Structure 1
Amino acid sequence: MKDQNSAIVADEIAVRPAQVTRQGGTGLAFLGVLAFSGSMPATVFAMRGFDPWLVAVGRAVVAAVIALACLRAARLPLLPPRRQWGSYALISLGVVFGFPVFSGLALHLGATTAHSAVVIGLLPAATAACAVLRAGERPRPLFWVACAAGALAITAFTLTRSGVTGTWADLLLVGALLSAAVGYTEGGRLARDTPGWQVISYALVVSLPLTAPVTAVLAVTTPVHPSAEALAGFAYVAVVSMFVGFIPWYAGLARGGIARAGQTQLTQPVLTLVWAWFLLGERFGAVTVAGALAVLACVAITQRTRT
């Protein structure tokens, strides 16, 4: 009996660190989501003074300068290990180029902030699918049920606010969705062994030979009207959305599991709409509150399931 009790205690002690790690991962991921939630409104502000392409690509150059300064301060190599160049190229294609370019052009073509939030509502499900294919995670059936319910809830609630459209903007938003899912999964996988800030730093540095000359050409050939709100919006997407937000985000995906911690992004459309209401004057009512409660319930369920 004594040996049996000792074994039970030992099992409990072994499980607790994993539980703490998962909870810590969820908290870190949510900090990243909070940072990302202001991206859409900030992009709208930035495009009031800068070309959409310049906003999408130029933000990566500013973030890359910050990344190089951080790597230099930490006395780390300015390039990732050669064996990981393929992974960092994939991250760059997803979150440095794909998502900013596709989402920015969708907003430029007339997609509202509320309608664009549909992408964020479906992104956790796409990220979970990529985690299975690329990172080898195997969530339980209950996780998929809650994941699908959350995606349906946030999509239905967002579409009731923005209406159903069938434009080129929607195709661009789908491109943004797939790009972010791939970039998030690959970055979360690398963050298991590399700090999150180094992952996004190296992704930005790897893309710099392309983003720097493109930004220089766009700065010369496109109209620039650097108003205060445009500069503030550009600064947010460059510093917060493109660099700072990824530090807790990738760390959270690595600690809590890409599929599970990624579900915290179901809260991003609600947070984005709050920012849109506060900064852009967009209104919401009881439907938004009901949608927010449904999303939070789904997130809670996904966080309690085991992989």
Structure 2
Amino acid sequence: MERTSNLQHPSLQSNASGWINGLIGVVIFSGSLPATRVAVLEFDPVFLTVARATLAAILALCLLLLFKEKRPARQQLLPLAIVALGVVVGFPLLTALALQYVTSAHSIVFVGLLPLATAVFGVLRGGERPRPVFWVFSVLGSLLVVGFAASQGLTAAPQGDLLMLLAILACGLGYAEGAKLSRTLGGWQVISWALVLALPIMAAVTWWRVPATFANISAPAWLSLGYVSLFSMLIGFVFWYRGLAQGGIAAVGQLQLLQPFFGLALAATLLHEQVSLGMLGVTVAVILCVAGAKKFSR
């Protein structure tokens, strides 16, 4: 009995650590959209995207060199490129562009679809066959998001809503591909190598898009750039992928459902944006749909 207990203890401890690391990652990611909203008011969206990726890539390269990590195998380069396109370039750029048209509180409702997008790409990439009920929840959640956007005046800023939908698709693909790749390459190594892979292009575009002067950039904009560069782009992924590896992708991945709540709280407290009861209601409804889709995904 004592031996059995001792053998199970490390597994239980690892599972608990996975949930803690995953939760830390979700909390860090929750600040991404509010911080991007602040930064994009003073920084060009393209410059913001490539600058944050460049800064994070430099730090990631230092970590890889410090821990003497082996280079990825040739067959891992394409999945890493997909991760880079999804979470290093696609999601940051599309959300930065979208937040020129919508508030961060409005955009956070779309984040409620992120776990569903990740699950769908997991199905496509992993060849899983979910039950029909899965697709019922999927369609219902999508209709709720589209209905909410229309009720808020879709014709006023259709660009912002379309860009947010594209951002969610890009991020879902990057998450699914990264989670799959982390099984062989390692958790934090996935985002680090993806950043390094994109570094030459990101650094070149950063140099090209650098503003003529930074004299008019405020301290909050600089802090926001620092946050999305270090925390959203790298540190959050260190905890997130570590949590997925320790606690299981399917289980810990459901913590993403809490992200809209954290994000709305940050938007209300830090940016003083109005969060209506309708917005909260739609967010809860979308999260319930995603939870139902997750339950019937296998």
Output the TM-score relative to the length of structure 2: 0.82
Q: Is 2:179 aligned against 1:188?
A: yes
Between the aligned partners of 1:260 and 1:171, the Cα distance in structure 2 is 30
1:42 aligns with 2:10: no
Unaligned runs of 5+ residues in structure 1 are: 1-9
SS at match of 2:99: helix
Q: Secondary structure at the match of 1:193?
A: helix
Shift of 1:264: 2.2
Aligned to 1:112: 103
Going from structure 1 to structure 2, the CA distance change for 1:69 and 1:142 (only over 3 Å counts) comes to: same
C-alpha RMSD over aligned residues: 3.7
Alpha-carbon distance, 1:182 to partner = 0.7
- CA gap of 1:121–1:306, structure 2 versus 1, over 3 A, is closer
Quote how far apart the aligned CAs of 1:46 are: 1.3
Query: What is the distance in 1 between the residues matched to 2:26 and 2:176?
Result: 15
- State how far apart, in whole Å, the 2-side matches of 1:163 and 1:249 are: 35
CA distance in 2, matches of 1:84, 1:21: 26
The Cα offsets for residues 263-286 of structure 1, whole Å up to 9 and x where unpaired, read as: 322221221111111111013365
Residue 95 of structure 1 corresponds to which residue in structure 2? 87
Most deviating of 45-54 and 158-167: 158-167
Cα 1:252–1:303 change in 2 (3 A) is farther
* SS of residue paired to 1:67: helix
User: Cα–Cα, structure 1 residues 294 and 277, in superposed 2: closer, same or farther, change >3 Å?
Assistant: same
* Aligned CA distance change for structure 1 residues 267 and 26 (closer, same or farther; 3 Å): same
Contact kept? 2:149, 2:161, Cα under 8 Å: no
- Matched residue pairs, number? 295
| Alignment check: 8 A CA contact 1:59 1:234 kept | yes
Which residue identity lines up with residue 208 of structure 1 in the other structure?
Answer: L
Gaps of 5+ in 2: none
Task: Give 1:193 deviation, angstroms.
Answer: 2.6
Give 3-state SS (helix, strand or coil) of 2:210's partner: helix
Deviation per CA, 1:167-209: give whole Å up to 9, x if none.
1222211210111011000100111233321110000000011
Q: 2: distance between equivalents of 1:148 and 1:17?
A: 40
Tell whether 2:37 aligns with 1:55: no
Give the TM-score, by structure 1 length: 0.80
Encode CA deviations 1:134-168: one digit per residue, 9 max, x unaligned: 13455666766677777777x48965995545612
1:184–1:250 CA contact under 8 A, matched in 2:
no
Q: Structure 2 CA distance, aligned partners of 1:209 and 1:105?
A: 22
